[in-house]
Amino acid sequence: MNETDIRTILQETLGNIAPEMDLQKLDPAADLREALDIDSMDFLNFVVAVHRRLGVDIPERDYTKLLTLDGAVNYLNGKIESRQS
Amino acid sequence: MVDFRMPSLGADMEAGTLVEWLVKPGDQVKRGDVVAVVETQKGAIEIEIFEAGQIEQLLVETKVKVPVGTPLARIRTGSDAGAVSVAPPSPVPIEARPAGAVPPPAQAAPAPALPHPPPMAIAPGAPRRDRVSPAARLFAQQHGVDLAAIVGSGPAGAVIRADVERSLEATTTAAEKKRPIGLDLDAMRTAIASAMARSKREIPHYYLEHQIDVTACEQWLASTNAARPPEQRLLMGVLTVKSVALAARRFAAFNGFYRDGRYEPAAAVHVGMAIAIRGGGLAAPALHDADRLSLDQLMTRTRDLVARMRAGRIRSSEIADSTITVSSLGERGVAALYGIIYPPQVAIVGFGKVVERPWVVDGAVMPRSIVTTTLSADHRVSDGHAGALFLAEIGRLLQEPDKL
């Protein structure tokens, strides 16, 4: 699992939540809540889906690290690498 | 024998289109079963039945639009067993049956009163018979695919089943990407316009606002959620809905319906939760008995309701019977909102964004999390004084989240 795989999984997950958005055009540094118009329920569903697909524990206090696509990729990649080492 | 009729799903609904029957003659149904899907201005609604019994006859075909109150089906109820032979209300002859007889099998049910739709005709210009494989023709008929629009990939350009499948897939994914099936956003806009215009015309609104310290809620949520996997975590929204539901139970002047010149307080508390529909649109389906659900139950129900609302699968009882509405537009960043009451309800509570503010607690200034909570209420039913007490009660309840 590398960064590209994680990014693809995140885009798929976000695509299920905001199906009408073009995720290819999503600014990876933009706040997902604003860029994709997602509320706290959508965001929780995003966390639930990522947790299920990657098996990574995402405590609530870390939510702020997942607010952009780049941030989420970095955070999850770090978690997966520390698990493997 | 009773008639199951096209229900009224809101004051502004005059007619509905029967989209799908989920039962057939001979089926046993019980109170609360979803028996049909009806297309309304609010989207596709799953219609529940309120009588137990056996479906005797379906009276309306799918795709037919009928006015509210039109009988859709005839139900044989338990009390009919001895009465059938006396005077069947149905114009269709029904065999006399001894009391306690075994219910008639499905095929014995009388034919529907309305003619069946004609068998699907092959559109002019469709490929000649020898250019379509039988499997493709059958599949196209079952799924309503127009064969004329398909380019065949079989021998001599014949349309084969795989071609039809591809065509069906292409059309459904294109449609699904635009909006959920069953939600007509233009119709929903019309329904909102009609209900809100009526509200502003008829209901003398008054508005109050109250700053509520929700620091205790945030701390309680953080410690509760820390020990839970994501799918079991709670959101602030369930605490606010529960506090409104409990307050509404105590303050009857905000929980009920104003109809025909008088107010009827409701016996139960069904909180309508305003849900934004992606792409524009709004609906407020009900969380039934929200005052009696635990926070975990409320969270599960909320999650389910949001998902079904956005997918266009809402049940009739959820759309029509909210007794008070809650809107949490603060999710989208606004400090406060002043809602328009959804008639015939008499109150709507709005929660703004949770913001950190310098606050004086026991004589010392400290950072606290504050949410501006508003009440829009019907002045024909209550006065500002009662409204202030109602909002204060919501604030008090939110100081002790562990007791909600």
* Mean of all residue pLDDT scores within chain B: 81
Residue A39: give the domain boundaries: 3-16+30-84
The length of chain B is 404
Is residue B97 a part of any domain in this protein? Answer: no
Who has greater pLDDT, B219 or B69?
B219
Q: Are B4 and B58 in contact (CB under 8 A)?
A: no
Residue B45: give the domain boundaries: 2-91
Closest by Cα among B403, B373, B401, B398 to B388? B373
Same domain? For B249 and B302 the reply is yes
Mean pLDDT of B161-190: 65
Residues in A closer than 8 angstroms to B301, CB to CB, are none
Among the partner residues B177, B279, B306, nearest to A41 by beta-carbon distance: B306
Mean pLDDT of B278-300: 91
Mean pLDDT of A71-84: 90
Is residue B231 a part of any domain in this protein? Answer: yes
Angstrom distance (rounded) from CA B95 to CA B84: 8
B290 has pLDDT over 90? yes
Q: Are B178 and A48 an interchain contact pair (Cβ–Cβ within 8 Å)? A: no
Is residue A74 a part of any domain in this protein? Answer: yes
Is residue A24 a part of any domain in this protein? Answer: no
Angstrom distance (rounded) from CA B75 to CA B49: 10
Is residue A55 a part of any domain in this protein? Answer: yes
Same domain? For B253 and B398 the reply is yes
Is residue A37 a part of any domain in this protein? Answer: yes
Nearest CA of chain B to the CA of A1: how many Å?
A: 22
> Which region among B170-184, B190-204, B286-300 has the lowest average model confidence (pLDDT)?
B170-184
**Segment (H or E) for B131:** none
Residue B313 sits in a domain whose CATH number is: 3.30.559.10
Who has greater pLDDT, B336 or B281?
B336
Residue B22 sits in a domain whose CATH number is: 2.40.50.100
> How many CB atoms lie under 10 A from the CB of residue B84?
19
Mean pLDDT of A3-15: 92
Same domain? For B239 and B293 the reply is yes
Residue B258 is predicted with a pLDDT of: 96
Angstrom distance (rounded) from CA B25 to CA B191: 33
Q: Residue B40 contacts by C-beta under 8 Å, 6 or more apart in sequence?
A: B9, B10, B13, B16, B17, B187, B191
Same domain? For B143 and B207 the reply is no
Q: Are B229 and A51 an interchain contact pair (Cβ–Cβ within 8 Å)? A: yes
Chain centroid to CA B77: 27
Same domain? For B319 and B395 the reply is yes
pTM of the model: 0.69
B326 has pLDDT over 50? yes
Structural domains in chain B (count):
3
Same domain? For B308 and B208 the reply is yes
Q: Does B174 touch chain A (CB under 8 A)?
A: no
Closest by Cα among B262, B256, B268, B194 to B11? B194
Count of CB contacts below 8 A, A vs B?
40
Residue A66 sits in a domain whose CATH number is: 1.10.1200.10
Mean pLDDT of A33-61: 91
Q: Are B331 and A39 an interchain contact pair (Cβ–Cβ within 8 Å)? A: yes
Residue B130 is predicted with a pLDDT of: 53
Q: Are B230 and A47 an interchain contact pair (Cβ–Cβ within 8 Å)? A: yes
Residue A9 is predicted with a pLDDT of: 92
Q: Are B258 and B380 in contact (CB under 8 A)?
A: yes
Is residue A47 a part of any domain in this protein? Answer: yes
SS3 assignment, position B142: helix
B208 has pLDDT over 80? yes
- CB burial readout B375-396, b (16+ within 10 A) else e: bbbbeebbeeebbeebbebbbe
Q: Which of A24, A42, A60, A67 to mutate to test the interface with B (most CBs of B within 10 A)?
A: A60
Is residue B337 a part of any domain in this protein? Answer: yes
SS3 assignment, position B282: strand
- Cβ burial of A79 (10 Å; 0-12, 13-18, 19+) is middle
Nearest CA of chain A to the CA of B370: how many Å?
A: 17
Q: Are B230 and A18 an interchain contact pair (Cβ–Cβ within 8 Å)? A: no
Is residue A75 a part of any domain in this protein? Answer: yes
Is residue B100 a part of any domain in this protein? Answer: no
Residue A1 is predicted with a pLDDT of: 80
Closest by Cα among B273, B334, B350, B339 to B306? B273
Mean pLDDT of B118-134: 48
Q: Residue B359 contacts by C-beta under 8 Å, 6 or more apart in sequence?
A: B213, B365, B366, B367, B368, B370
Rg (C-alpha) for chain A, rounded Å, is: 12
Who has greater pLDDT, B338 or B44?
B338
Is residue A22 a part of any domain in this protein? Answer: no
pLDDT per residue as tens digits for the range B254-285? 999 999 999 999 999 999 999 888 777 888 88
Residues in B closer than 8 angstroms to A40, CB to CB, are 235-237, 331
CA distances from B146 to B173, B174, B182, B382 (A): 17, 16, 21, 58
Q: What ipTM does this complex have? A: 0.89
| AA letter at B82 | G
Rg (C-alpha) for chain B, rounded Å, is: 26
Closest by Cα among B245, B233, B202 to B349? B245
The tokens of B228 are what? 């839970």
Q: Are A19 and B233 an interchain contact pair (Cβ–Cβ within 8 Å)? A: no
Is residue B119 a part of any domain in this protein? Answer: no
Residues in A closer than 8 angstroms to B178, CB to CB, are 20
Same domain? For B201 and B86 the reply is no
Same domain? For B210 and B299 the reply is yes
Q: Does B236 touch chain A (CB under 8 A)?
A: yes
Is residue B388 a part of any domain in this protein? Answer: yes
* Residue found under tokens 């459904």: B172
Q: Does B259 touch chain A (CB under 8 A)?
A: no
Q: Are A59 and B226 in contact (CB under 8 A)?
A: yes
The tokens of A20 are what? 């009408």
The phi, psi pair for B178, rounded to 5°, reads -70, -50
Q: Does B279 touch chain A (CB under 8 A)?
A: yes
Is residue B122 a part of any domain in this protein? Answer: no
Closest by Cα among B283, B281, B284, B248 to B267? B248
Is residue B120 a part of any domain in this protein? Answer: no
Same domain? For B160 and B259 the reply is no
Residue A24 is predicted with a pLDDT of: 85
> Which region among B100-109, B143-152, B170-179 has the lowest average model confidence (pLDDT)?
B100-109
B82 has pLDDT over 50? no
Same domain? For B193 and B162 the reply is no
For residue B102, name the pLDDT band (cuts at 50, 70, 90).
Answer: very low
Residues in B closer than 8 angstroms to A59, CB to CB, are 226
The tokens of A74 are what? 């970095």
Nearest CA of chain A to the CA of B112: how many Å?
A: 41
Residues in A closer than 8 angstroms to B278, CB to CB, are 18-20, 37
In chain A, which residues touch B (CB < 8 A)?
18-20, 37, 39-41, 44-45, 47-48, 51, 58-61
Same domain? For B153 and B40 the reply is no
B361 has pLDDT over 50? yes
The length of chain A is 85
Q: SS3 letters for B316-359? A: HHHHHCCCEEEECHHHHCCCCCCCCCCCCCCEEEEEEEEEEEEE
Same domain? For B335 and B283 the reply is yes
Mean pLDDT of B296-322: 85
Q: Which of A22, A34, A37, A41 to mutate to test the interface with B (most CBs of B within 10 A)?
A: A41
Residue B172 sits in a domain whose CATH number is: 4.10.320.10
Report the DSSP pairing between strands B34-40 and B15-21.
Answer: antiparallel
Structural domains in chain A (count):
1
Residue B223 is predicted with a pLDDT of: 96
